[in-house]
Amino acid sequence: MKLHTLSPAKGGKVRQNKRIGRGQGSGRGGTSTRGHNGAKSRSGYSQKFGFEGGQMPLQRRVPKFGFTSPFRVEYNAINLDRIQKLVEEKGVTTFAFETFVELGIISKNDKIKVLGNGALTATVEISANAFSASAKEAIEKAGGKAITL
């Protein structure tokens, strides 16, 4: 083993950072790798978010249209065929808001609307935030109750 054959262990030697602006002898003096003129060569430069070099930025090019009501109420829909399936599988006949949460159909902050898709043969009592006219009719026809919360 000789001194000229020694080398550091693999992964042991960390790469040195570029030393910028330390005189002409370093090879990175003068403009300090920033080029000659323009905003980017100046100290204190920071680009505005979304700036595209003077080109019209994307958020100003894309058209804006439509209207979104802040008062819109978003319901989670459940159809009568699903309620019928729950009656057959789980044996539930009273569907309170808490029942829907326990069954994992909705979370506790959701609103629920019962829709009239499918057939309902079981007599059930359902409490929900809203009912479609066909759902309410089908529930009462089967001998159940539709209670609006």
Does residue 23 fall inside a structural domain?
no
Does residue 55 fall inside a structural domain?
no
Total domains in the chain come to 1
What tokens does 108 get? Answer: 């506790």
Domain of 84? 75-148
- In which band, very low, low, confident or very high, does the pLDDT at 11 lie, cut at 50, 70 and 90? confident
Does residue 34 fall inside a structural domain?
no
> Count of CB atoms within 10 A of residue 138's CB?
22
* Domain of residue 136, CATH code: 3.100.10.10
The C-alpha atoms of residue 43 and residue 23 are separated, in whole angstroms, by: 18
Does residue 101 fall inside a structural domain?
yes
Does residue 54 fall inside a structural domain?
no
Does residue 32 fall inside a structural domain?
no
Per-residue pLDDT tens digits for 112-137: 999 988 888 888 898 999 999 999 99
Burial (CB < 10 A; 0-12, 13-18, 19+), residue 100, is buried
pTM over 0.85: no
